[in-house]
Structure 1
């Protein structure tokens, strides 16, 4: 990138020296009249100068000098502005120039993103603008994929990947500038980074941290970090905003009707529609695809596109314009994840904002999540209004006087934080101070996280990480699955548990059946079903997928109604987990799937991690009592047992992977277990903390039949009540046994 005062200004007479940022008082101290790229030493291409001209019209260039001065003179700089201002592409380049001026003696530049696709898109664009090769001077790191080299001076990565990097480099000494982008999205990883960086800045006075956000988040950041310069580059103008006078109960179909009305006006420009959930996005695409075939040819083509929904990280489609034909109108369908989107190829003129979002909110009391439909924040609403630019229109399907929350709710207040606590315990060992959270986690959620880690034997008697907790923190899985994988090393079923962990970490491999194909899709899936349960079904599918790779794998997936990309993701996750186990020198047993011993061992390994997720069919009809909180649940219809219940009957005792209140109180990924194995694998101090129930009494009988008999004798003698009988099982917590310690 050109940072020298000797740029060829003759080709750009309309750009002032101030906007160029190429001035004699360059704070980075470069010489003049250099025409070579300072990052790779090669002459600039003609495309570089073309992109440079485009870059200089971005609003962020008006504050370049202000930003550079702030970066030189301060450890922390806060920048307020949306993605359309160019903040995510230009500021990292200027930070790379800052590090270059110091000959990288303090490290390189890293810029976090909350979306993996965003990190890739930005890295590709910035490499193009800097006139360097992707993977060399500019690179990216996202889960399961790294495109960097020893030459990389600017790296985009997801916030969770930078957090995991702190496991080996707790003070992030590899970097001279750390840029936290999209801080207003308040992901768990971003909030932890902001909390830890406050301490790291004290330990490393040469480090620079740049935080990119929008108001009101910038106000909160100023209070959190204390005195720090604020560089404001908010857009000065936004679109014409039209509000709906009615309620937004029928927002879904109102949005679709509005898309069709916009298209019938024949006004140029693409459309972005924000729905509440990914399910609504896919449903909207199906409806708009059908409606687009009914539109007259004179209106031109309308192409609905799903924009960066989970599991759909593919690039945007390329427009195909026939000579003499009308340019197709793209209708981008998104959830809240697309609000801060960056894409220079989008020509959005119309934004339709439904004003609602569906979020998964975790309840620590019952260890379950549920979908909650809630209004968006004012911060999100403002971002959406700016997407179409000053010449566009934003249609808000809610009244203008509707009160919206000022900012996004931090995800750390709505998520399970067991993994977070495990990470922070690990970081404490490295010498970092306490994480200074912007918004502290809920005490109840924090206590539940510590309790879970204690049950999993990840903590010692002093509340610090145990040896097994340190090993668990090395494995990029949630703590329960990490513990199950560690247990498989003892039970000689590592190969099978690696497959289970990978399949459960990847998106679902089951494709939704097309209209009218439900029974056919179920028939295709049924061939993989295993009578022992869903965990074993996943192993069947993965093994069949690997065998199909000798042939045409994608066609095989299509023929079996399975998602090829999900299975490839599972394959990559399994490879990463295998590398992790090899690195920490844990044994990997040979596969022996299908044998009776192997089946028994897989269940033991599962229960070593998931003993908190046990349920019993209390009446033989599929009404399951979850032992930890006594809620009733059902097996999900797509489970192996859901499909085979009429043939085999439902198992009495099951272990499940997750439980949601949003799907009819359904348990997903369910396998049969025996109560005897559960008693063997669960720590007894967990077992005796279970609330009283008939199911617990049954387990108590198996564990201590003599004691149970005495309780029954006393009850028959009329000496105790039913409540006291339940309390009879609540023996003092003097037990501390667990097979895997």
Structure 2
């Protein structure tokens, strides 16, 4: 879609002296009871185009349309409205438009409308569609705001955005005074950001009687919302028909292979319609794409073309939307959890294949690590998937009908690392919003771990309030550890390099899974980009080489990425993130050093900056064979297969001490993105009270020996400084350990 969403090209006439257009408009007027005069768009004052009336007919067919008048009446008299119903009823497109009409009736004196989404691509797609239906231009009356992209103006009266973007907006506008109506879509997904929004909005409603909040959810999840928000108005919308549902009599142990076999069986029947397949994880989606592409090349041409298409939330920002995939043959949309709502605009899916399982990452606060858990989906998610097939379609559930499924989608705030969320809530206390009424309260152990981590990072003062450093850290859309490392880099004169590291880690992985049979070639290409100092430096190396390739024509840049089995879109995202982080540093008037990558001093300073944020993630190779012992949780892990050290171990040898970015508990525990460090530098940077609280181990004894040796030598030249490890004092003095400061 071009800049104009009206559906009328620049060369197409909309004047009323055109006989054909006049005839079509007269027919529409007769159907809808409009007068003889041309109606003017209430939002921009221009005459409606013929496309507006065509789309209006389609809107009248949506199940939600029958509730329009009731919704407008309820919105007038209630601050909080909950709309529940099945998927594909038109809630996400129609309700925000009606809210815009509500705000218009008050001449926007209380604000405009914002509608949150959990996926960035869906926010864009919905904004484009709604701008089309409202017959206005995208970026003017209707716009969108997603990470790294803002398509809005001062004329925008309806804005779609991701839930994390709206959450960060609360920091500068705690009462959301710019808005008269806030619509929280996909409330049933229970993301951390959505849960935080719903918790804080309840407090905002108490301070702004004129504000309206609308929650959109699917039916199975509405009970919890209605119980929590007692007194809220409730509207229910149901789809008229459901598809035919077929359950498997077997369990889901071999659901992946069964799903692919079923795809081929459906294709051989020649029954029309696309297929949507829901697998456990993004890794399964990638594997399925490769396998189906290979099988499709072997199929008889009489069956027609079979086109696998990956639809994953993790790639929503770097892949084209579903509707951009051209209709050629039968498309097989391969997806996983949290992407069901991305099918709202697809009407060609007649078959849904649901494996009934999903991979979720559950955070363990004691170990400071996430575990990969494969478990059955919720009944809520199962019902959403069934509705995608439409009334004339079929849904194949690859699990027995009597399988017990939990009713609702588990809240992510109960399973995720909430350190970033706690930092945000501390910032909101500074902004004057101190009460947060969670639908599902975070686990006390996870909450304590988050507070402890923020304390180690010097983000909190002695009273537990946000410190000056904590306030600055909260300005960055990064996890607190990386935000602290970035701040430290300004002191160590290596901000340019740490900016690159932060951006590369925040963006999707730039390493592509090579096609089957090309694994060795891909590894050899990646080895050329590896840096001997570690994976963080490898990321800088890749980014710098990518930037140099931009000086060539665009196709050369794409080809360079293809030749090295790297994702060009991911690197473009990293470049945009780096620019955003740079702007934040400049706004905060923090110094940004000149690039000095490759020098010995710069290498040491980058490691110091990383240690300032990630001193809690240190490991030691205990036997010289790659078995790494993690000091904080006393677990063992191996290096990730994509690590530079893993690929070059035969040449460089494995480093003894490493800093790692991520640790995942799985069948083969692994630490990812690792860089060699010196234990002496670690002792210098780590805060004393963190060091004291490290659990006893041989590694800690080695560090103590290094410290004792250093202190013995320092006694000969000058008075001994405070030791890193000391026994806690009694009473109040026990809280006076030195904090981790920006060096």
Same fold (TM over 0.5): yes
> What is the CA–CA distance in structure 1 between the aligned matches of 2:229 and 2:739, rounded to whole Å?
45
> What is the CA–CA distance in structure 2 between the aligned matches of 1:737 and 1:13, rounded to whole Å?
72
1:695 aligned to 683, 696, 699, which one? 699
SS of 1:293's partner is: helix
The question of whether the paired residues in 1 share the 8 Å contact of 2:638 and 2:670 is answered with yes
SS of 1:42's partner is: coil
> What is the CA–CA distance in structure 1 between the aligned matches of 2:728 and 2:580, rounded to whole Å?
43
Q: C-alpha displacement at 1:434, in angstroms?
A: 1.6
Partner of 2:341: 340
Residue 313 (structure 1) aligned with residue 319 (structure 2): yes
List per-residue Cα deviations over 1:342-372 (Å, max 9, x = no partner): 4434311111111100111111110111211
Residue 356 (structure 1) aligned with residue 362 (structure 2): no
The question of whether the paired residues in 1 share the 8 Å contact of 2:282 and 2:312 is answered with no
Distance 1:320 1:678, change over 3 A: closer
> What is the CA–CA distance in structure 1 between the aligned matches of 2:740 and 2:416, rounded to whole Å?
28
Partner of 1:574: 578
Partner of 2:448: 447
Partner of 2:40: 36
Partner of 2:742: 740
Residue 680 (structure 1) aligned with residue 684 (structure 2): yes
2:66 aligned to 62, 68, 75, which one? 62
> What is the CA–CA distance in structure 2 between the aligned matches of 1:9 and 1:519, rounded to whole Å?
63
Segments of 5+ residues of structure 1 without an aligned counterpart are 3-7, 23-30, 322-326, 710-727
The question of whether the paired residues in 1 share the 8 Å contact of 2:456 and 2:739 is answered with no
SS of 2:172's partner is: coil
Q: C-alpha displacement at 1:135, in angstroms?
A: 0.7
> What is the CA–CA distance in structure 2 between the aligned matches of 1:638 and 1:730, rounded to whole Å?
41
> What is the CA–CA distance in structure 1 between the aligned matches of 2:181 and 2:739, rounded to whole Å?
48
Partner of 1:272: 276
- Following superposition of structure 1 onto structure 2, how do residues 528-547 of structure 1 map, counting pairs within 5 Å? 528-547=529-548
The question of whether the paired residues in 2 share the 8 Å contact of 1:82 and 1:340 is answered with no
Q: C-alpha displacement at 1:469, in angstroms?
A: 0.3
> What is the CA–CA distance in structure 2 between the aligned matches of 1:115 and 1:319, rounded to whole Å?
18
4+ residue runs over 4 A deviation: 12-17, 31-34, 317-321, 705-709, 728-734
Q: C-alpha displacement at 1:338, in angstroms?
A: 2.4
> What is the CA–CA distance in structure 2 between the aligned matches of 1:345 and 1:438, rounded to whole Å?
32
Q: C-alpha displacement at 1:589, in angstroms?
A: 1.0
> What is the CA–CA distance in structure 2 between the aligned matches of 1:290 and 1:674, rounded to whole Å?
48
> What is the CA–CA distance in structure 2 between the aligned matches of 1:435 and 1:9, rounded to whole Å?
52
List per-residue Cα deviations over 1:291-339 (Å, max 9, x = no partner): 2222222222222211244225312365767xxxxx7222111101222
The TM-score normalised by the length of structure 1 is: 0.91
> What is the CA–CA distance in structure 1 between the aligned matches of 2:399 and 2:694, rounded to whole Å?
46
Distance 1:671 1:251, change over 3 A: same
Distance 1:529 1:341, change over 3 A: closer
Residue 235 (structure 1) aligned with residue 236 (structure 2): no
> What is the CA–CA distance in structure 2 between the aligned matches of 1:708 and 1:434, rounded to whole Å?
51
Distance 1:13 1:262, change over 3 A: farther
Q: C-alpha displacement at 1:516, in angstroms?
A: 2.1
- Following superposition of structure 1 onto structure 2, how do residues 427-576 of structure 1 map, counting pairs within 5 Å? 427-551=428-552, 552-576=556-580
Return 445-454 or 262-271, whichever deviates more. 262-271
2:592 aligned to 556, 564, 588, which one? 588
Q: C-alpha displacement at 1:558, in angstroms?
A: 1.5
1:249 aligned to 238, 249, 253, which one? 253
Aligned length: 701
Partner of 1:5: none
List per-residue Cα deviations over 1:27-74 (Å, max 9, x = no partner): xxxx99660111111111111111111111000001111101011111
Q: C-alpha displacement at 1:649, in angstroms?
A: 1.0
Q: C-alpha displacement at 1:248, in angstroms?
A: 1.4
Q: C-alpha displacement at 1:607, in angstroms?
A: 0.3
> What is the CA–CA distance in structure 2 between the aligned matches of 1:535 and 1:401, rounded to whole Å?
49
Q: C-alpha displacement at 1:267, in angstroms?
A: 1.4
SS of 2:660's partner is: strand
SS of 1:189's partner is: helix
The question of whether the paired residues in 1 share the 8 Å contact of 2:38 and 2:47 is answered with no
Q: C-alpha displacement at 1:705, in angstroms?
A: 4.4
The question of whether the paired residues in 2 share the 8 Å contact of 1:355 and 1:398 is answered with yes
SS of 1:671's partner is: strand
> What is the CA–CA distance in structure 1 between the aligned matches of 2:221 and 2:371, rounded to whole Å?
26
List per-residue Cα deviations over 1:516-556 (Å, max 9, x = no partner): 22222122111221111111111111111111111121111
> What is the CA–CA distance in structure 2 between the aligned matches of 1:319 and 1:109, rounded to whole Å?
31
List per-residue Cα deviations over 1:140-162 (Å, max 9, x = no partner): 00111111111111000000000
> What is the CA–CA distance in structure 1 between the aligned matches of 2:277 and 2:644, rounded to whole Å?
37
SS of 1:369's partner is: strand
Q: C-alpha displacement at 1:559, in angstroms?
A: 1.8
The question of whether the paired residues in 2 share the 8 Å contact of 1:680 and 1:739 is answered with no
- Following superposition of structure 1 onto structure 2, how do residues 211-230 of structure 1 map, counting pairs within 5 Å? 211-230=215-234
SS of 1:310's partner is: helix
> What is the CA–CA distance in structure 1 between the aligned matches of 2:87 and 2:135, rounded to whole Å?
21
- Following superposition of structure 1 onto structure 2, how do residues 317-332 of structure 1 map, counting pairs within 5 Å? 328-332=329-333
List per-residue Cα deviations over 1:484-532 (Å, max 9, x = no partner): 0000111100001100100111111112222222222122111221111
> What is the CA–CA distance in structure 1 between the aligned matches of 2:387 and 2:339, rounded to whole Å?
13
Q: C-alpha displacement at 1:13, in angstroms?
A: 9.1
Distance 1:187 1:272, change over 3 A: same
The TM-score normalised by the length of structure 2 is: 0.91
> What is the CA–CA distance in structure 2 between the aligned matches of 1:334 and 1:319, rounded to whole Å?
15
Distance 1:532 1:64, change over 3 A: same
Partner of 2:210: 206
> What is the CA–CA distance in structure 1 between the aligned matches of 2:542 and 2:667, rounded to whole Å?
24
- Following superposition of structure 1 onto structure 2, how do residues 59-98 of structure 1 map, counting pairs within 5 Å? 59-98=63-102
Partner of 1:419: 420
> What is the CA–CA distance in structure 2 between the aligned matches of 1:678 and 1:37, rounded to whole Å?
65
> What is the CA–CA distance in structure 2 between the aligned matches of 1:320 and 1:633, rounded to whole Å?
44
2:168 aligned to 164, 167, 185, which one? 164
SS of 1:485's partner is: helix
Return 65-74 or 337-346, whichever deviates more. 337-346
> What is the CA–CA distance in structure 2 between the aligned matches of 1:194 and 1:313, rounded to whole Å?
29
Name the Cα RMSD after superposition. Answer: 2.2
> What is the CA–CA distance in structure 2 between the aligned matches of 1:122 and 1:292, rounded to whole Å?
32
The question of whether the paired residues in 2 share the 8 Å contact of 1:521 and 1:561 is answered with yes
Partner of 1:286: 290
Residue 295 (structure 1) aligned with residue 296 (structure 2): no
The question of whether the paired residues in 2 share the 8 Å contact of 1:632 and 1:665 is answered with yes
The question of whether the paired residues in 2 share the 8 Å contact of 1:83 and 1:341 is answered with no
